[in-house]
Amino acid sequence: MTELLSNYLGGRWQAGTGAGAGTALLDPVLGTELVRVDATGLDLAAGFDFAREQGGAALRALTYRERAALLSAALKVLQANRDAYYDIATANSGTVKNDSAVDIDGALFTLGSYAKLGDALGDKRFMLDGDMARLGKEPLFQSQHVLTPTRGVALFINAFNFPAWGLWEKAAPALLSGVPVIIKPATATAWLTQRMVKDVVDADIFPPGALSVVCGSSAGLMDQLQPFDVVSFTGSADTAAVIRSHPAVVQRSVRVNIEADSLNSAVLLPGEAADSPAFDLLVKEVAREMTVKSGQKCTAIRRVFVPEALYAAVAQALSARLAKTTVGNPRNDTVRMGALVSRSQLAAVREGLAHLAGQAEVLHDSSQQALVDADPTIACCVGPTLLGTRDARGSDSADRVHDTEVFGPVATLIPYRDTAHALALVRRGQGSLVTSLYGSDAAALAAAALDLADSHGRVHVISPDVAQLQTGHGNVMPQSLHGGPGRAGGGEELGGLRALNFYHRRSAMQASTAVLAHLQTPA
C-alpha cells in the first residue's frame, strides 16, 4: 500500500478516516500508484474556525512588510526543495523538465514577486484607496476610502494542471493581505501541492492556521464559508457553475473569483508575408503553446486566425514544427512532450478532437504516433493535432471551434477575410484569458488590441522588435492581470498589487480632516 498523504487543518496534521484506502494518485505514463489522499471525516468546521480566528488574527497583527518577509522565507524553503518537486511532477503530472518548470519555477517566481511588492508596501496594515474627497464646500468633512484585510478565510479550489503555481499565485497575495488560506488541490495531482505546503509548515514560517491543505474530496468545503470568507476557484465551467450557485455565494455573499476554461486565440494581422518575422513568430508560438504541458494550460492557444491567402503556408509551417515533437516518457531525454494527466483526460481529448473534426479538416495528425518508452495501452500520451476550417466561409459556419475547449495538444487554424472579420471571429470565443496579435504595423496592432481588450483579460501583442524580450503567450506574469470575462469565468487574479483587492474590503470613511489625517501615517 502506498503512503496516505496527510491533511493539514486546525494547526495539525490529520489523516482522513475513510473506511477504504483513500483515492490513489497515479503515474500517467507508467500507470503505477504513487500515493493516496483522503479527506473523509475531517472536522472542517473546526478547521475553518481555527484558520479564521487564529491564523487571521496573527496575520493581521503583522504589517505588509512583515508578511512579505514570511513569503520570502517560504520561497527559500521551496527553493531548497526544488529537486523533489521536479521528481513529483515527473511522476504525477508526467511532464518533461521544461514543462514542470512552467509550474514549479513559475510558482517560485510569483511568490518572490509578491514578497518584493509586499516589502515595498512598508510598515502598514491597511491601504488607502485614492485621495480624500471633500463632502462640502469647506475641506473639513471629507471622504477617504480605505482597504482593510477581510476577517475571513480564503478557500482555494484548484485545477489539476498547475499544482504548484496554482497554489502560490493565489496564496501569495492572500497571505500578503493578511488572510489565512485553505487550499484544496485537484485530486489527480494533489501530491505536489501537499508536499509544498508540508515543507513550508515544517519550517514553521507562518503563524498557526495561516496555511492549510485538504487533499481529497471537496465535499463540505463550500458549506463552511461565512460572509467574510472568499473562495477562489480554478477549473472547468461545469464545476464553476456549482460553486457560483452554492448558498454560501448566493445567500451569504461570499466573494468568489472564478477562473474557468477559455478558447484563447492568436491572430496574424494582414500585410505579413509568408516568410516575414511576424509570420515566423506566430508559427513558433502556436507550436509551443500546443505542446507545452501537452496543451493542458488554461492559457494555451486553441484558435489561430490567419489571412485567407496564408492559410496553406501557416498550415505547412506549423505541421513541420509539430512533426518534430517526440512524445512519451518524460524520463527519456529525447522526449519533448510528456503525458496528459489521466486516462479520463486522454479520453476527453480524443472525444473533443472528434467533435471539432466534425466541422474541420485535419492538417496535421500525430495523435497515433509511436510513443517513446511508453506503453500506449497505459500511458496517457497523445501527439499534437492541427485542424483547420479551410476557407473564410467555412470559418463563419464552424461554431464548435469557438465553443469546445479540448484540454490537450490541439488547435484549429481559421482563415479570415479582413481585420474586421478576424476580430469578429475572435470574439466568438465569448471572452478569453488571452489573445496574441502578431504583426509589424504598430498602429494596426494597437487598434486591434484595443478592439479586443474588453473581451480578454490580457492582450499579448508581438511585433518583431520584441521578439527576444517577450514573455510568451501562455506565460502568466505576476505583473499582469490573469483572468478573463464571460466564458473565461469573469475572474481577476495577479496584476501586481491589484491581486490584493480581492482579499481586502473597501470602506468609505467620512470624517473630519483631522481624523482622516491619522490614516495617512502607518498603523
Please pick, from the candidates 81, 143, 148, 236, the single residue that binds ligand NAP as defined by CB under 6 A: 236
**Closer to ligand NAP by Cβ: residue 40 or 239:** 239
**Judged by CB under 6 A, how many residues of this single chain contact ligand NAP?**
26
Q: How far is the CB of 261 from ligand NAP (least distance, A)?
A: 3
Kindly report the number of other CB atoms within 10 A of residue 466's CB atom. 11
Q: How far is the CB of 276 from ligand NAP (least distance, A)?
A: 32
| 194 touching ligand NAP, by CB under 6 A | no
| 213 touching ligand NAP, by CB under 6 A | no
Phi, psi of 159 (to 5 degrees): -90, 165
Question: Residue 16 in contact with residue 43, Cβ under 8 Å?
Answer: no
Q: How far is the CB of 413 from ligand NAP (least distance, A)?
A: 21
Q: How far is the CB of 156 from ligand NAP (least distance, A)?
A: 9
**Closer to ligand NAP by Cβ: residue 288 or 505:** 288
Question: Residue 381 in contact with residue 328, Cβ under 8 Å?
Answer: yes
**Closer to ligand NAP by Cβ: residue 114 or 162:** 162
**Closer to ligand NAP by Cβ: residue 99 or 259:** 259
> Contacts with ligand NAP in 244-263 (CB under 6 A)?
259-262
Please pick, from the candidates 186, 317, 318, 374, the single residue that binds ligand NAP as defined by CB under 6 A: 186
Of 497, 480, 482, 493, whose CA–CA distance to 147 is shortest? 497
**What are the Cα distances from residue 241, in Å, to 209, 481, 487, 514?**
29, 23, 11, 48
Sole window of 183-191, 272-280, 380-388, 441-449 interacting with ligand NAP (rule: CB under 6 A): 183-191
| 215 touching ligand NAP, by CB under 6 A | no
Q: Choosing from 169, 285, 289, 298, which is the catalytic residue? A: 298
Which three cell numbers mark 442? 504598430
Of 144, 119, 117, 138, whose CA–CA distance to 62 is shortest? 119
Which three cell numbers mark 50? 481555527
> Contacts with ligand NAP in 147-176 (CB under 6 A)?
157-162
Of 449, 166, 463, 110, whose CA–CA distance to 299 is shortest? 166
Q: Choosing from 169, 259, 272, 405, which is the catalytic residue? A: 259
| 492 touching ligand NAP, by CB under 6 A | no
Integer Cα distance of 450 and 344 in angstroms: 39
Which three cell numbers mark 155? 478557500
380 is catalytic: no
| 475 touching ligand NAP, by CB under 6 A | no
Sole window of 7-15, 233-241, 316-324, 363-371 interacting with ligand NAP (rule: CB under 6 A): 233-241
Q: DSSP per residue over 3-64, as a string?
A: PBPPEEETTEEE----SS--EEEE-TTT--EEEEE--TT--HHHHHHHIIIIIHHHHHTS-H
Known catalytic residues are 259, 298
